[in-house]
Amino acid sequence: MTDSLKIDPSKIKSFIRRQGRATAGQELALQNHSEKFCLSPEQSYDFAQVFGRQAPLILEIGFGNGSSLADMAEANPDLNYIGIEVHRPGVGHLMMLLEQRNINNVRIYHHDAIEILEQKIPDNSLAGVHLFFPDPWQKRRHHKRRIVRPSFVELLHKKLASNGYFHAATDWAHYAKDMLGILSEAKLLQNSSPTGDYCPRPEYRPLTKFENRGLNLGHGVWDLIFRKP
């Protein structure tokens, strides 16, 4: 099979399900805390009932090991967060952090983000969508697997509330330029950058150890923030 065969690009996965091996602590969290923190991709939810309150809803796509999401949720207890991640050990690690730190404003989908956005998130409901350091799919033939493409921007516009924002961050210059071009050309969301390109890192996005190490080595990081009018 070759890339020249007909493929629906909207159905191409933007990830590889690299499960890896969960640690004993992560496995214990998966066994003991999934009912508390995880949402079923087979069910539909009233998120106000899920969280027990009405609050702005922030969705993070691909939270990795969950450390940054836990930090954001702990620092912003007035916000509700939904994290989506396909990596099982990462889901376990986030649940460990939430339970250890008594953080109650996060719920998790262990599933494909596009399917959750399309099927389980109400239109005009999200105050923000975060996409921090997604897989850059460096090889040209793999660029079609990058999550930020025109169909994704249309989906964001549909799911974001008025004045809701999309915030992406990457340490790959080519991907940053690619995302900027796609988001700008769609003209559905407005760039928050006064210079029409990238934004300084907002205080709400934690500086990870990996990112800090890269910055100390002179590596760049690019933040893009676009809002729905």
Tokens 């404003």, residue located: 105
Strand partners for 26: none
Annotated catalytic residue 135: yes
Which residue among 78, 123, 135, 197 is the active-site one?
A: 135
For residues 4 and 229, give the distance between their C-alpha atoms in angstroms, rounded to a whole number: 38
Of residues 170, 171, 173, the one with CA closest to residue 225: 170
For residues 106 and 197, give the distance between their C-alpha atoms in angstroms, rounded to a whole number: 31
Confirm if 86 and 110 have CB atoms less than 8 A apart.
yes
Tokens 């629906």, residue located: 8
Catalytic residue numbers read: 135
